[in-house]
Structure 1
Amino acid sequence: MNQDARTLTLSEIAERLGARLEGDGERRVSGLATLRDAAPDQVAFLANRAYLKDLTGTRAAAVLLAPDHAQSCPVARLEMDNPYLGYAELSRLFDPLTDRIPAGIHPTAVVADDVCLGADVVIGPQTVIESGVELGDEVVIGPGCVVGADSRIGPGSRLHANVTLCHGVVIGARAILHSGCVIGGDGFGFAHDGARWHKIAQLGGVVLGDDVEVGSCSSIDRGALGDTLIGDDVKIDSQVQIAHNVQIGDHTALAGCVGIAGSTRVGKHCMLGGGVGLSGHLTIADGVQVTGMSLVTNSILEAGVYSSGTGAMDNAQWRRNAVRFKQLDDIARRLARLEKAARRD
């Protein structure tokens, strides 16, 4: 970063992104905005053809775009084959959270005597760090967090305000945990005697790999016996529920309000849309994409895109179709009988 606070030249940006620059490389910019809203000291980007209409009128200092759209750009341009990936990198250059918070322990924090602290650790106000915890180098613990006994947090990880890690949780390097998420709470385990429920102690833990991000108010339950396992580079949106002993493979992404029941295994490079529900004890293969609001009750053993449910429609039409849904089994049986009779004839 240049010595001028949060400003970069276009040449510096091009170098960081590996982009091809056409324009004044010495021009300074101080932020990132949309094509429509960008000021002359900001960079805009074009990654979706739907916004081509805003390109010719942009006031941005430069636009990050694909070479196919370069000739329509009225200002300096940063050309990349994947401008959306470039936008991701560019956004981090101007993110105020990339500024390093001064290392140290706030005087209101409660830190057990045997906690092992790496170099340049930050522990915010009203935070509690229990006995046996290990914090790697440059870990940032925001205000109001609780890190339970014998937990470990890898180097470069960040907990935003009011995150709770229960006992025995392992967090990898460079993780980001957003406010209100709970890692390592008890799984939903009860035995019924015919009259009442009896709690089953949850004796496992939770292990998050490197580069994992967990959204606000999401819950990842500890295992009943073994651990709940979240692989490297898994991205979990807000208000997601992951039950005990679930395993999620590397590079998988879960959008908001996904719910995964206990002991289900999700493969690598999967994408689960918002509101997807997975029943328990299932296996989901690598490379599976499940579209939003789908309910999955059987294992999926081949990569591909899967959907369930019906789209919204006029209520009167939905009511008619709902009646037909109930008739499908009878219709299928009658059809089978007719086909069997036709074969005999």
Structure 2
Amino acid sequence: MNTNAKHTYTLSELASALGAGLIGDGERRVSGLATLTDAGPDDIAFLANRAYLKYLGTTRAAAVLLHPSYAEHCSMHVLTLENPYLGYAHLSHFFDLSPVGSVPGIDATAVVDESVSIGERVSIGPGAVIGANVTLGDDVIIGPGCSVGPDCEIGARSLLHANVTLYYGVVIGKRAIIHSGAVIGGDGFGFAHDGSQWHKIAQIGGVVIGDDVEVGSCTSIDRGALGDTVIGNDVKIDSQVQIAHNVHIGDHSALAGCVGIAGSTHVGRQCLLGGGVGLAGHLEICDGVQVTGMSLVTNSIEVPGVYSSGTGSMPNKLWRKNAVRYKQLDDMAKRLTRLEKLGRGDKNDAQGE
């Protein structure tokens, strides 16, 4: 049970806000949100995965949000939705108590250049540094210790948590959330070699981030070498992701933790990249592609669908045997070709293979 909850809601209030059906007492109040197994008598729980149906009979929750087809299995108050997981996402905000330091004003320890354009109700936290010619839209929140370089633009209602760094000329759209430690607009990895040493290539592009984007903690998005690195609208990026120079990511895509995307690769709309996925440089990934975790993509993908590479875990002894066999695959393929030719009676070609 969430004993720290500051607000309680009636089930009728929650059902109305979610557009959900209600079975039971609409005046019953709840003060927390929890899983079926952890819920207490004043919590609302949710069921979005059939695997957890077995816990409906033992949950202590006051009410459960679930699909209408499961309502008959539930003896307590019920909220019904066709997509209960989406309902849970909306419901979570009713019980979110995280402070975001949104009191408007500029902390006395912040350093704000006199040329900065500041919208209405902007909050700039302790120790933040805002460079020249920056534009901050209405209701923007800049957390403690953030560094916003010259000529950046941050759209209305965007939030930078503590210690976010924006290099110069970064453009961020409306309602973005950037988590602590993220670095946006740093130099891309560009060097030329003369045979004996490396020579740095100036990265003179920028970074443009659309509306409703979320960037996880300690993620790096490099500026473009010539053109911009572009993150589309409603893109969700997890923590510790590396996005190299001139990468483009289409609207509504999502990248899980530790994804790495090399330079100049374009990822389409509605793409999903699992944890640890690596994309080589200069690739084109079409719309509607899902790449499962820890996969390495070295060629462009032109057909929507689910793609995987690598092998799943197995006992080490079996893995070592298979690793040896991987090295033998080319030889085995040649032997199979010879056998196929012999089977067709093409003995001369088979002998000359």
| TM-score, reference length from structure 1 | 0.96
Report 1:121-136 matches (<5 A).
121-136=122-137
1:302 counterpart residue number: 303
Percent identity for Structure 1 against Structure 2: 71
CA displacement 1:290-316 (0-9 Å, x = unmatched)? 111110101111001111011111212
Question: CA–CA distance in 1 between the matches of 2:178 and 2:278?
Answer: 22
8 Å CA contact 1:165, 1:184 repeated in 2: yes
- Once residues 24 and 38 of structure 1 are traced to their aligned partners in structure 2, the CA distance between those partners, rounded to angstroms, is 18
Tell me the equivalent position of 2:44. 43
2:212 counterpart letter in structure 1: D
For residues 87-137 of structure 1, what are the alpha-carbon distances to aligned partners after superposition, in whole Å with 9 as ceiling and x for unaligned?
000001211248772211111110000100111111110000100100111
Amino acid at match of 1:299: S
Aligned letter for 2:248? Q
Question: How many angstroms does 1:342 deviate by?
Answer: 3.5
| 1:53 corresponds to | 54
The equivalent residue for 2:169 is 168
Q: Deviations over 1:141-190 (max 9, x none)?
A: 11110111100011111111111111000001110111101111110011
After superposition, what is the alpha-carbon deviation per residue over 1:196-250, rounded to whole angstroms, capped at 9, x for unaligned? Answer: 1111111001011111001110100000000000001100001000000000000
Q: In 2, Cα distance between the equivalents of 1:45 and 1:170?
A: 38
In structure 2, C-alpha distance between the alignment counterparts of 1:243 and 1:69, rounded to whole Å: 46
Q: Which residue of 1 aligns with 2:351?
A: none
Provide the residue aligned with 1:18 in structure 2.
19
Q: 324-333 or 175-184, which moves further after superposition?
A: 324-333
Alpha-carbon shift at residue 74 of structure 1 (Å)? 1.8
Residue 96 of structure 1: SS of its match in structure 2?
coil
Q: Distance in 2 between matches of 1:206 and 1:233?
A: 16
Contact kept, 8 Å, 2:101 with 2:143, in 1: the verdict is no
**Kept in 1: contact 2:208–2:230 (CA 8 A):** yes
The whole-number CA distance in structure 2 between the counterparts of 1:163 and 1:123 is 12
Q: Is the 8 A contact 1:92 1:98 kept in 2?
A: no
Measured after TM superposition, the shift of residue 6 of structure 1 is 2.1
Deviates more, 1:95-104 or 1:109-118: 95-104
Q: Secondary structure at the match of 2:150?
A: coil
> Residues of 2 paired with 1:144 and 1:17: CA distance?
37
Is the contact between residue 277 and residue 293 of structure 2 (CA under 8 Å) also seen in structure 1? yes
SS in 1 for 2:93: helix
Q: 1:100 to 1:93 in 2, by over 3 A?
A: farther
* Conservation of the 8 A alpha-carbon contact between 1:142 and 1:160: yes
TM-score, length-scaled by structure 2: 0.94
Alpha-carbon shift at residue 337 of structure 1 (Å): 3.1
Aligned 1:204-283 pairs, distance under 5 A:
204-283=205-284
CA distance in 1, matches of 2:342, 2:213: 58
Deviates more, 1:33-42 or 1:236-245: 33-42
Aligned equivalents of 1:146, 1:205: Cα separation in 2? 17
Amino acid at match of 1:33: A
Cα distance in 2 for residues equivalent to 1:100 and 1:321: 55
Q: What is the one-letter code of the residue matched to 2:112?
A: V
- SS of structure 1 residue aligned to 2:301: coil
Name 1:89's counterpart in structure 2. 90
- Greater shift in the superposed pair: 74-83 or 54-63: 54-63
Code of the aligned partner of 1:8: Y
Name which of structure 1's ranges 281-290 and 51-60 shifts more when overlaid on structure 2: 51-60
Distance 2:100 2:264 in 1: 39
Kept after mapping to 1: 8 A contact 2:268/2:287:
yes
Q: Over the residues paired in the alignment, what is the CA RMSD in angstroms?
A: 1.4
SS in 2 for 1:88: helix
Q: What residue in structure 1 maps to residue 349 of structure 2?
A: none
Tell me by how many angstroms 1:5 deviates: 4.4
Q: Cα deviations across residues 254-273 of structure 1 (Å, max 9, x unaligned)? A: 10100000000001111111
Which stretch shifts more, 251-260 or 43-52?
43-52
Q: How many residues align?
A: 342
Q: 1:120 is matched with which residue?
A: 121
In the alignment, the residues of structure 1 paired with residue 75 and residue 122 of structure 2 have an alpha-carbon distance, to the nearest angstrom, of 46
* Cα deviation, residue 78, structure 1: 0.3
Show structure 1 runs of 5+ residues with no match. none
Helix, strand or coil at the partner of 1:77: strand
Quote the offset at 1:334 in angstroms: 2.5
1:24-44 superposed Cα distances (whole Å, 9 cap, x missing partner): 112222221111221222211
- Between stretches 229-238 and 65-74, larger displacement belongs to 65-74
Query: What is the match of residue 285 of structure 2?
Result: 284
Alpha-carbon contact 1:176-1:212 (below 8 Å) kept: yes
Alignment-mate amino acid for residue 60 of structure 1: A
Shift of the 71–99 alpha-carbon distance from structure 1 to 2, 3 Å rule, reads farther
Which amino acid in 2 is paired with 1:95? D
Unaligned runs of 5+ in 2: 347-353
